[in-house]
């Protein structure tokens, strides 16, 4: 009785019977099926460091701050708030390269962050656990300063617009090292309906690396 070929469960790859002759067409067909599955987002796993924006297929990825040089849309929040750690993992679930979701965790804490790519545009990371559910905003321009008398030592105020912020929220502003050590910027900030106020003794445009918003 002649044996019949069988097929694998996931990719329907052909498994010839032991009595079948080798078929180049079958081998090529299996190779094409594997290649197509990978291109369409088959689960991948990597232990070689990649930037989060390159982790576009379904699977687990390893991210190292020392080798990935993360910045801009890739600025992993752990790099801002857990600088003693430099090894992270990313779980990507993707519909396509431009519609996907990423969950980020490190190997030394319980912090969990999530972001999505919506029609090709990366959204900001948002913390889910381990840090009070803070929303995270990165690379924020502070350029429009006006004279202000709220604090005697800091005669200028900048209103930073952030959609969805209310006066009941609590903000944490993380200045760059040069600004933080200059003494020119107040250690306090205030939220208002639509943004955050920061205070300075100088009228100078700066870029703030990170602002956290804890919802009130």
Query: For 131-170, how does the pLDDT look when each residue is reduced to its tens digit (9 = 90+)?
Result: 455 788 888 999 999 999 999 999 999 999 999 899 999 9
Q: How confident is the model at residue 173 (pLDDT cuts 50, 70, 90)?
A: very high
Q: Read off the tokens for 133.
A: 């559910």
Q: Annotate the chain with three-state secondary structure.
A: CCCCCEECCCCCCEECCCCCCCCHHHHHHHHHHHHHHHHCCCCEECCCCCCHHHCCCCEEEEEEHHHHCCCHHHCCHHHHHCCCCCEEEEEEEECCCCCEEEEEEECCCCCEEEEEEECCEECCCEEEECCCCCEEEEEEEECCEEEEEEECCEEEEEEEECCCCCCCCEEEEECCHHHHCCCCECCCCEEECCEEEEEECCCCCEEEEEEEEECC
Q: How confident is the model at residue 59 (pLDDT cuts 50, 70, 90)?
A: confident
At 29 the pLDDT is 86
**Higher-pLDDT residue of 3, 99:** 99
In this prediction, residue 44 carries a pLDDT of 64
Domain boundaries, the chain: 6-39, 44-132, 138-214
pLDDT of 142: 96
Q: Rounded CA gap, 192 and 205, in Å?
A: 21
Q: Are 174 and 212 a contacting pair, CB within 8 Å?
A: yes
What per-residue confidence (pLDDT) applies to 196? Answer: 97
Span 63-76, pLDDT tens digits: 765 544 455 555 55
Tell me the pLDDT tens digit for each residue of 79-136: 444 444 557 788 889 888 899 999 888 776 667 788 899 999 988 777 775 545 578 8
Answer whether 57's CB lies under 8 Å from 92's CB.
Answer: yes
Residue with token string 């209103």: 159
């Amino acid at each position: 009785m002649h044996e019949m070929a069988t097929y694998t469960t996931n990719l329907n790859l052909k498994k010839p019977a032991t009595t079948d002759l080798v078929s180049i067409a079958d081998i090529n067909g299996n190779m094409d099926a594997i290649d197509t599955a990978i291109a369409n987002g088959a689960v991948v796993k990597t232990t070689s460091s990649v930037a989060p924006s390159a982790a576009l297929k379904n699977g687990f990825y390893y991210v190292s701050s020392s080798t990935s040089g993360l910045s801009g849309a890739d600025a992993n929040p752990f790099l801002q708030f857990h600088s003693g750690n430099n090894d992270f993992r990313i779980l990507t679930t993707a519909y396509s390269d431009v519609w996907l979701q990423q969950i980020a965790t490190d190997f030394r804490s319980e912090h969990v962050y999530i972001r999505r790519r919506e029609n090709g545009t990366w959204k900001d990371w948002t913390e889910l656990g381990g840090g009070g559910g803070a929303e995270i905003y990165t690379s924020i321009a502070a350029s429009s300063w006006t004279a202000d008398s709220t604090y005697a030592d800091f005669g200028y105020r900048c209103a930073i617009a952030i959609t969805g912020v209310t006066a009941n929220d609590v903000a944490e502003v993380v200045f760059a090292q040069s600004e933080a050590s200059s003494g020119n910027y107040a250690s306090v900030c205030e939220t208002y309906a639509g943004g955050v106020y920061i205070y300075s003794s100088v009228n100078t445009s700066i870029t703030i690396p990170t602002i956290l918003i804890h919802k009130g």
